[in-house]
Amino acid sequence: MNRASFFSPQAGRVIDAPFQTRARFAIGDVVRHKQHDFRGVIFDIDPVFANSEEWYQSIPLELRPSREQPYYHLLAENEDSSYVAYVSQENLLDDADGGPVEHPSVSEIFEDFRNGRYQLRRGLAH
């Protein structure tokens, strides 16, 4: 399989990743975590795990997801707070019908919530 490399600021190192991965979700999609009570809007996608080793090891072994899948950066919210989350594809469900996300940074990255998803602000695309 052909592979590529990219630098991950979160990991502080170069990450080796396949040229093609199958991301189930896209930037602007609203999702919900399968096990924890939070939802969010995707603002970035890593083709494979690209966070720190300490972060990965902090997940209990019995819950630890595979590194070889897309990981999503979310503007996340729960009943108590808003924050940024980093979640594996296997732990997310579509939540487009749940309505907009109330995270305070949404308007910095996205335009209006339409048809169950957010549109990336012009000029912010890679």
Q: What's the confidence (pLDDT) of residue 12? A: 65
67-123 pLDDT tens trace: 989 999 999 999 999 999 999 999 999 999 999 999 999 999 999 999 999 999 987
Alpha-carbon distance of 4 to 112, in angstroms, equals 34
67-91: b (≥16 Cβ within 10 Å) or e: eebbbbbbbbbeeeebeebbbbbeb
Arithmetic mean of pLDDT, 51-79:
94
Q: Which has the closest alpha carbon to 15: 52, 62, 58?
A: 52
Q: What's the confidence (pLDDT) of residue 83? A: 97
The pair phi, psi for residue 97, each rounded to 5°, is -80, -10
Asked whether 101 and 39 are in contact (CB, 8 A), the reply is yes
4-35 pLDDT tens trace: 666 666 666 666 656 556 889 999 999 999 99
Q: Which has the closest alpha carbon to 8: 45, 59, 58?
A: 45
Topology given in CATH for the domain delimited by 3-120: SH3 type barrels. (2.30.30)
Q: Is this model's pTM higher than 0.75 or not?
A: yes
Domain residue ranges in the chain = 3-120
Alpha-carbon distance of 49 to 11, in angstroms, equals 9
Q: How confident is the model at residue 36 (pLDDT cuts 50, 70, 90)?
A: very high
